[in-house]
């Protein structure tokens, strides 16, 4: 169309009604905002997937599959992300209320459920702790060893996440409890540990492993005075390598000597002698980090803990694995409520894994025996499968060992054969002491593996095999690692209301699945079933309204007199929905919350610096040209 200005008027002087291009690209309706639409069913699917913390790109895959392909979707990935943001805004300003309601509901179904809020004088939440009935059960049976670590970037308030983690009888990682804390100070850790002990009926752990946090160490000394505390070996060694990269590279044989002394020393005297010699031989007297490691040696070197029970643990790897699993599904934009639901999924997955292993122990046995020893058959019958595999690793190692009986009665010397392809850095001889008097049957080894891990070492098994012992004494097959039906003190877990709820839910789910399958056959059947669901829902609401809800029992207010705290409790409890509680303080940042950054060691940092420097030099050369 051509328009010409004639005087003060505009006149169309030419008009072509035929287009010389297509009105729209083929199959690209989603590019036009007027063509975007999302059905109510699709919104419901997105809501369900969002509640399960499914990523947006995976949502697009599901929705496009239902539509018949990505090109058939009348909206883009950004539209789905925007709808998710809208859903998340529904929680804004009511996160603590929803968390409180969730805990209250759990408490009403299971009286053994425990939770505690710590708030300041303005009723703003500072710390949250909770544990369920399963955690209590696990702690009662496996709570002698505790792994504890904190991590960030799991929620929109950036509160550190602090899980209490342990090892089950099948070797799985389990939760003993979980918390969000406002900071990592001694007072906060003290509140957390005291709350943990309160939740666990006053039972203290025997051993605990953490990182090198000074505030955490001080709180453990105050709250767990009789608990053996050690630091993560992996992080200390890694930090040593990163800070002494050139030192290890320039001194041939130092890495092997370093690893052997820390990991394989049999006595404190041996470790201290070899370490002193290493420092002198490699002239490391002025190395700050090696001097610091020497000063704190009693906090991380394994030989100082060889008689303490740390089952297959030398690091906080189990805690970090739990943190990584959490971060995979929740991120820095997620609410506390979303996190709590994700936590419950992991607890449920642990329970299922434990039940499957118990069932597999009854139904499955190894196809054949490796050696045919009677102690091997005994271990197969008594140990859980995962622990039996660890036992077999020790039993197989006996084929690489030599032994001789010493002059003193009941003492043996065990050492590795010299014809091994992969030989040890330093040959060590292990002393095994036996007392086989009637009714005693004692075995001990200088490596103390049984004291640390709860299974016999290869050195003791070597003596048993060579002296033709036909049965492992019962005291060396500890209760923790036995099959469920082989436990001597099996605790019967009573069925709770929560268990009944699960059974009822499973029954109703099967029935509902059959109905929904029939209802999806055509549009008329679907509409009829939806109407019936609404009618049934209304009737159920009327039926359930007569039930009395419970109010939160444990909300602690920091500071103030007893009367002031009582009045604040009344203010919180006075509202049925917990709306008086204030959200935790959030660090405000511009733009999208920062993604978690992977920690980089010195080698990687130096490479990046060199790469950046090379690029800058290249730019300068180009400018000169």
Q: What is the pLDDT of residue 7?
A: 85
Give the domain ranges of the chain: 2-90, 95-232+313-354, 235-299, 371-477
Q: What is the pTM of this model?
A: 0.74
Q: Which range, of 105-109, 144-148, 237-241, averages the lowest pLDDT? A: 105-109
Q: What is the pLDDT of residues 19-36, one digit of tens each?
A: 776 666 555 555 566 667
State how far the Cα of 195 lies from the Cα of 189, in Å rounded to an integer: 10
Which of the two residues, 622 and 208, has the higher pLDDT score? Answer: 208
CB atoms within 10 A of CB 464: 23
Q: What is the pLDDT of residue 494?
A: 47
Q: What is the pLDDT of residues 273-316, one digit of tens each?
A: 999 999 999 999 999 999 999 999 999 999 999 999 999 988 88
Tokens 């690893």 found at: 259
Q: What is the pLDDT of residues 342-381, one digit of tens each?
A: 888 888 888 999 999 999 988 888 888 899 999 999 999 9
DSSP 399-433: GGEEEEE-SSTTEEEEEE-TT-SS--SS--EEEEE
Q: Which range, of 68-82, 119-133, 368-382, 493-507, averages the lowest pLDDT? A: 493-507
Burial class of residue 56, CB neighbours in 10 A (0-12, 13-18, 19+): middle
Which of the two residues, 517 and 600, has the higher pLDDT score? Answer: 517
3-state secondary structure at position 494: coil
Mean pLDDT computed over every residue of the chain: 83
Q: How confident is the model at residue 547 (pLDDT cuts 50, 70, 90)?
A: low
Q: Which range, of 94-103, 150-159, 272-281, 408-417, averages the lowest pLDDT? A: 150-159
Q: What is the pLDDT of residue 193?
A: 95
Q: What is the pLDDT of residue 35?
A: 66
Q: What is the pLDDT of residues 554-580, one digit of tens each?
A: 555 554 444 445 555 554 554 555 556
The percent of residues above 70 in pLDDT, for the chain, comes to 82
Q: How confident is the model at residue 587 (pLDDT cuts 50, 70, 90)?
A: very low
Q: What is the pLDDT of residue 434?
A: 93
Which of the two residues, 618 and 255, has the higher pLDDT score? Answer: 255
Overall average pLDDT of the 510-529 stretch: 84
Q: How confident is the model at residue 478 (pLDDT cuts 50, 70, 90)?
A: very high
Considering only the top CATH level, what class is 95-232+313-354?
alpha beta
Burial class of residue 114, CB neighbours in 10 A (0-12, 13-18, 19+): buried
State how far the Cα of 325 lies from the Cα of 137, in Å rounded to an integer: 22
Q: How confident is the model at residue 261 (pLDDT cuts 50, 70, 90)?
A: very high
């Amino acid at each position: 169309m051509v328009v010409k200005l004639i005087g003060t008027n505009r006149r169309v002087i030419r008009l072509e009604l035929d287009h010389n291009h297509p009105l729209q690209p083929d199959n690209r309706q989603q590019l036009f905002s007027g063509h975007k639409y999302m059905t109510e069913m699709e919104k419901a699917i997105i809501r369900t997937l969002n509640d399960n913390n499914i990523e947006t790109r995976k949502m697009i895959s599901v929705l496009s599959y239902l539509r018949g392909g990505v090109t058939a979707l009348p909206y883009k990935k950004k539209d789905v992300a925007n709808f998710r943001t809208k859903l998340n805004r529904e929680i804004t300003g009511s996160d603590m209320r929803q968390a409180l309601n969730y805990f209250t509901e759990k408490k009403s179904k299971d009286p053994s459920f425990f939770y505690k809020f710590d708030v300041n004088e303005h009723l703003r939440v500072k710390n949250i702790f909770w544990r369920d009935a399963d955690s209590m059960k696990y702690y009662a049976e496996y709570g002698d060893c505790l792994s504890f670590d904190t991590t960030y970037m799991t929620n929109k308030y950036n509160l550190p996440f602090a899980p209490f983690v342990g090892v089950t009888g099948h070797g799985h990682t389990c939760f003993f409890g979980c918390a969000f804390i406002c900071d990592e100070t001694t007072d906060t850790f003290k509140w957390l540990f005291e709350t943990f002990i309160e939740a666990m009926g006053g039972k203290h752990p025997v051993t605990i492993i953490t990182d090198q946090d000074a505030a955490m160490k001080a709180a453990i000394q105050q709250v767990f005075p009789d608990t053996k505390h050690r630091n993560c070996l992996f992080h200390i060694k890694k930090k040593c390598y990163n800070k002494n990269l050139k030192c290890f590279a320039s001194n041939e044989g130092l890495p092997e000597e370093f690893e052997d002394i820390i990991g394989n020393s049999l006595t404190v005297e041996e470790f201290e002698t070899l370490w002193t010699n290493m420092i002198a031989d490699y002239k490391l007297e002025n190395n700050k980090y090696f001097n610091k490691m020497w000063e704190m040696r009693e906090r991380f070197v394994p030989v100082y803990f060889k008689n303490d029970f740390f089952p297959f643990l030398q690091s906080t790897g189990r805690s970090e694995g739990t943190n990584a699993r959490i971060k995979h599904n929740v991120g820095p934009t997620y609410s506390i409520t979303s996190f709590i639901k994700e936590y419950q999924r992991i607890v449920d997955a642990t329970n299922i894994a434990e039940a499957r292993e118990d069932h597999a122990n009854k139904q499955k046995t190894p196809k054949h025996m490796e050696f045919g020893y009677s102690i091997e058959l005994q271990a197969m019958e008594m140990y859980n499968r995962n622990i039996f595999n660890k036992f077999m690793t020790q039993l197989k190692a006996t084929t690489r060992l030599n032994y001789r009986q010493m002059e003193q009665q009941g003492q043996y010397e065990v050492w590795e054969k010299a014809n091994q392809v992969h030989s040890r850095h330093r040959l060590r001889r292990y002393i095994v002491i036996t007392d086989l008097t009637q009714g005693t049957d004692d075995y001990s080894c200088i490596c103390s593996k049984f004291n640390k891990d709860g299974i016999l070492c290869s050195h003791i098994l070597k003596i048993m095999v060579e002296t033709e012992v036909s049965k492992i004494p019962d005291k060396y097959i500890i209760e923790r690692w036995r099959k469920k039906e082989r436990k001597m003190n099996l605790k019967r877990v009573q069925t709770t209301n929560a268990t009944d709820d699960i059974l009822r839910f499973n029954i109703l789910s099967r029935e509902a699945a059959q109905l929904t399958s029939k209802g999806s056959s055509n549009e008329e059947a679907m509409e009829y079933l939806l109407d019936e669901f609404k009618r049934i829902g209304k009737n159920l609401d009327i039926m359930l309204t007569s039930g009395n809800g419970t109010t939160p029992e444990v909300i602690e207010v920091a500071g103030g007199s007893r009367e002031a705290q009582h009045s604040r409790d009344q203010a919180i409890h006075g509202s049925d929905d917990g709306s008086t509680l204030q959200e935790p303080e959030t660090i405000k940042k511009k733009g999208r919350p920062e993604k978690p950054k992977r920690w980089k060691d010195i080698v990687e940092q130096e490479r990046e610096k060199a790469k950046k420097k090379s690029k800058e030099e290249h730019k300068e050369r180009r400018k000169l040209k």
